[in-house]
Every structure is written in structure tokens, then in C-alpha cells.
Amino acid sequence: MGKIVIVDYGSQYTQLIARKTRDLRVFSEVVTATSQPNLEDISGLILSGGPFSVYDPRAPRIPDWVKPLIEKEVPILGICYGFQLLTQYFGGRVDRAHSSEYGRMPIVRQGENPLFDGIDRSLTVWMSHGDSVLELPPGFAICALSENEIIASAFHVKDPIYGLQFHPEVNHTEFGDRIFSNFLFKICRCTPDWTLKDFIAIERENLRATIGTQRAVCAVSGGVDSTVAAVLAHQAIGSQLTGVFVDTGLLRKNEDAVVPDLLRRSFGLNLRVVNARETFLARLAGVVDPEEKRKIIGETFIRVFESEAREIGSPPFLIQGTIYSDVIESAGTLGGGTIKIKTHHNVGGLPQDMRFKIVEPLRFLFKDEVRRAGAILNIPEQILARHPFPGPGMAIRCLGEVTSDRVRILKEVDAIFLQTLHEFGWKEKVWQAFAVLLPLKSVGVAGDQRAYGNVVALRSVDSSDAMTADWSRIPYHILDEAARRIINRVAEVGRVVYDITAKPPATIEWE
């Protein structure tokens, strides 16, 4: 075993460092420069890149807890800003160089060292720096120079301290994986034995130890993260956990019944379903502005959840399905070691004044790892493979006013579209598909009569992270089938259109 601790100095690539170590089956934990990590079984330390200059007095430094690690000869790898910090720490000089380096850059290695074992003499790496190491500290030697004669890598000749000016975690760097495996296995002597199963077992134990004989509550939406967190916590503390499922009335058709039933039946989760449909509809009455809708839904959710928690005697612990990217986003680089309560993914924010102690068993996992963890916990594919669903739900797909009638129409259309895609094997192929009810009516002809019905748009997108997306090239005959079913089964709908806009310039949701 043995873990790698990664200090995050704010680089956009820190998540990739964590990911690389996990992919090599070594457990890694990302911490901020101000946190106090558990160093018990540390095998190595990585200092990430970051947007700072080491000579800025406000720039984050090497934490005090690193000093004893250096004395114990725990291997350290500094990447970009991390390398510059190490240089400064040991008495070298960092400053603006004659040239900045951004993007692909050829470098040439000098001499031998274990970090570059098995790697070509000349290679292309990914650079992104304005400052450079201009003078190495005593005891350090160059191990690679860039085309611009800038120090691309250096190491301590006796101690296991290494620095890279470039980013081995970025795929554009040739031999990046090899550099990581050299560091982990040749230098840190880690063993590639980390599995998600171990992780789950450890987190289960941690939950037991943290919560003891007390009680905890969790909000479950039926989404992947909250379900995996709830099931894991349930395995750990059983009936001490109460799940709260808030039925906003804005979920997909039948989910208010299917999701709680599945969670209770498959996992025996002690689940309270709060029917808050009327409350949500009443608060949304007359509201057409999308941001206003979001705000109202977020606040209403909080109040409903709070009052439910009080009903069950205000358990001291709140289990949240916060995942890795949320932790990093909410903590911030200089976060002072406190992890803010994450903006609730599905509902828009649990309040700071809720006096819960937050427990986040999935905080070190990436989304795809959470899905794999879910499979290990026997959570049905039906939940794990779900399309993302926005917290404000149907309210932001019901353009214009949100009324119970309009939501009912939209849910029907949405269900028909998804069912049709599923029958043709397309639901599983696309990132996210849904229907949108437009605030328009359009003329048609039905049974020789003039008709004047609602217009719905179908949207289906392909994406890998929802940041960018393209419309799905669903074959015409499937779209045709979906449109005919919708028109025939939902009397209020007179016209169906398909959205062929990419993101950007559009967004995935219409509101």
C-alpha cells in the first residue's frame, strides 16, 4: 500500500495528477497547502503546478509538515510551480526567464536518473510557465533542458527530490505515464495494489468510526453520487442513517415512485419521502425567469430538508455525495483547510447555518470511479447509467410558467422520448436526452379540424463532461417514431422539433 499526497497549488491539471496515480493503482489524496493531512502511510509527495510566482509574498508555500518528510527522505516530486517552490526552498533562484514556454516543447535529457528511466533522450513535453528555475540549489543537478535552454527537470543528487518544469500529467507530454510510474514504483517504491474495493472497505470503516452510535441523515435524489454515498453509509451504519427524498414534483415521470422504491427494496434504506410538490408549485407560480426559478427551487429544497431533519430529531451528521471535483472546486487552493458545504448538486445549496457535521465518503473519487464503486456496491445499472438531471428539474425545461398541467405534459413527452430512444438502443449511447416544453402554440390540423397545440423540442447531446456538447445524430426513423408517438399520445402537443445546436454557443438546457 502506501499513498501519494498531492499538494494542490491551484493548477488546472491537479486532478489529472491524482487520476494518473489511481490509474497506476496507487492511492492518492489531494490536499491544499494549508491542510493537515494524515501522513501515516505516505510513500511520496507531489507538489502541483499553480498560477503563482514564488516571489509573490502572498503565494502559497511548502507546508511545514513537509520538513520532517524531507528529513525522512520521503520522495518528493515538484511539478512546474511545485518545482520552483522546491528550488526556492533549498536556496536556488527562480525568476522570469528570457522566454516563457507554453504548449508543446522539445526537451533533451542530460545523464541518467530513475525518473527518466526507459525514456528517449529527446522528447516533447507540455509546458505552461512564465517563471523558470534560473539557478539550482546546492546539491541539485540538471536532468533535462528545453530547446530554449531552460531547466526542464532537475534532481537532488543524493536525496529523492525531483523537479519537472513541464506537466507529465498532461497527455501531450510524451512518456508522461512512464515518468509517473518511475516516480511511483522506482522512487517511492509503491506497490500497484490499490483497488476501489479497498477504498470502499476503508471508507465504510471510517464512516463507522466517525459516526459511532450517533445518527446521520442524507439527501437522496436518485442521482449517482447521492445514491452511492447513501448505500455505502447504509452498509456502514444501517438504521442509524435516514435518507430524505424530497419529491419536488419536478422529477422525470414516475421517479418519485421508482427511486424510493428501488432504494428501499434493494438496500433496505430507511428512507423518508417528502411530498413537497404543492409547495414547489406554489412558490414557482407566475415565475418565468430561469435564474429566479433556480433560486426558488434551491431555497425551497433547503427549507423542506431542514424541517424534515428536525422532524427526525436533527441527527448530528450529514452524509453528502460530494465527489472529487466538487471538493477541489469548493475548497479552493488557499481554502484554509476548510471544506465548504458543497453547493448541493441537485438542488442548489444547503445552507451554511445547518449545524451538521459533514461526512463525504466519496470526496476522493472521480465520477467514473463513483460509477464503478456503485457497481461494486451492487447498485443497479438503472441508477448508475442515468443521464444527468438538473436539480431544478422540469422547471427549467418548462419554458415560461411552471404549472401542474404544463409539467404533466412535459413529463409525458419526456418519458415517451426516452422510452423510444431506449427501445432503439440510443438512450444508452447519448450523454443526455430530454424534452422541452416551449411557451408557444402552433397551428396544425387534426381529424380535419384546425388544431392549436403546444410545441415541444427534443434535445439529445453527446458530451464527455457537459462543458461542451454536440447534438446527437439520432437516425431519422427513431426521431420520426418518437415524434409520432408524442403527437398521438399527448393530445396537448401539436408540433415536435429537434434541437440541432451545439454547446457552445447554446447550452445543454434551454434555460
Catalytically annotated residues: 80, 167, 169
Q: Which CB sits closer to ligand XMP, 201 or 466?
A: 466
User: Strand (E) positions, 159-228?
Assistant: 161-164, 216-219
Q: Looking at 263-271, 276-284, 317-325, 390-398, which segment touches ligand XMP (CB under 6 A)? A: 390-398
Nearest to 46 by CA among 68, 17, 67, 84: 17
Residue 457, strand partner residues:
436, 497
283 Cα distance to chain centroid: 30
Query: How far apart are alpha carbons 382 and 404 in whole angstroms?
Result: 27
- 310-329: contacts with ligand XMP (CB under 6 A): none
Residue 392 binding ligand XMP, by CB under 6 A: yes
One of 466, 468, 475, 491 touching ligand XMP (CB under 6 A):
466
Q: Which CB sits closer to ligand XMP, 86 or 421?
A: 421
Residue 503 binding ligand XMP, by CB under 6 A: yes
Residue 386 binding ligand XMP, by CB under 6 A: no
Q: Looking at 78-86, 203-211, 271-279, 389-397, which segment touches ligand XMP (CB under 6 A)? A: 389-397
In angstroms, give the least distance from the CB of 302 to ligand XMP.
14
213: cell is: 452510535
Instruction: Report which secondary-structure segment, H or E, holds 482.
Output: helix 476-489
Tell me the one-letter amino acid at 384: L
Residue 397 binding ligand XMP, by CB under 6 A: no
Q: Write a three-state SS string for 392-417.
A: CHHHHCECCCCCHHHHHHHHHHHHHH
One of 181, 248, 346, 454 touching ligand XMP (CB under 6 A):
346
Q: Which CB sits closer to ligand XMP, 139 or 290?
A: 290
Q: Which CB sits closer to ligand XMP, 499 or 509?
A: 509
CB 133 within 8 A of CB 141: no
Q: Which CB sits closer to ligand XMP, 143 or 229?
A: 229
Instruction: Report which secondary-structure segment, H or E, holds 98.
Output: strand 93-109
One of 22, 109, 345, 406 touching ligand XMP (CB under 6 A):
345
407-421 burial: b if 16+ Cβ within 10 Å, else e = bebbbbbbbbbbebb
Q: Looking at 171-179, 211-219, 242-250, 384-392, which segment touches ligand XMP (CB under 6 A)? A: 384-392
In angstroms, give the least distance from the CB of 435 to ligand XMP.
13
Nearest to 386 by CA among 233, 259, 231: 259
Nearest to 133 by CA among 95, 82, 81, 99: 95
Residue 388 binding ligand XMP, by CB under 6 A: yes
In angstroms, give the least distance from the CB of 432 to ligand XMP.
5
Contact pattern from residue 245 through residue 264 relative to ligand XMP, giving x for each residue in contact according to CB under 6 A and a dash for the rest: --------------------
- 79-98: contacts with ligand XMP (CB under 6 A): none
> Pairing relation of β-strands 216-219 and 241-247?
parallel
Residue 7, strand partner residues:
31, 47
Q: Looking at 212-220, 438-446, 481-489, 502-510, which segment touches ligand XMP (CB under 6 A)? A: 502-510
- 278-297: contacts with ligand XMP (CB under 6 A): 294
Query: How far apart are alpha carbons 73 and 105 in whole angstroms?
Result: 31
Query: How far apart are alpha carbons 76 and 65 in whole angstroms?
Result: 13
Q: Looking at 85-93, 225-233, 269-277, 387-395, which segment touches ligand XMP (CB under 6 A)? A: 387-395
Residue 391 binding ligand XMP, by CB under 6 A: yes
CB 372 within 8 A of CB 195: no
Q: Which CB sits closer to ligand XMP, 202 or 466?
A: 466
Q: Which CB sits closer to ligand XMP, 299 or 509?
A: 509
Q: Which CB sits closer to ligand XMP, 159 or 509?
A: 509
Q: Looking at 124-132, 196-204, 383-391, 418-426, which segment touches ligand XMP (CB under 6 A)? A: 383-391
Residues 6+ away with beta carbon under 8 Å from 39: 5, 65, 69
Q: Which CB sits closer to ligand XMP, 160 or 390?
A: 390
Residue 75 binding ligand XMP, by CB under 6 A: no
> Pairing relation of β-strands 161-164 and 76-79?
parallel
Instruction: Please count the residues of this chain forming the interface with ligand XMP, following the rule CB under 6 A.
Output: 13
One of 420, 432, 460, 472 touching ligand XMP (CB under 6 A):
432
Query: To 10 degrees, the CA torsion angle through 137, 143, 147, 148?
Result: 0
Residue 20 binding ligand XMP, by CB under 6 A: no
- Identify how many contiguous H helices and E strands the chain contains and give both numbers: 14, 18
434: cell is: 430530454
Query: How far apart are alpha carbons 197 and 199 in whole angstroms?
Result: 5
Chain contacts with ligand XMP (rule: CB under 6 A)? 294, 345-346, 388, 390-392, 432, 466, 503, 507-509
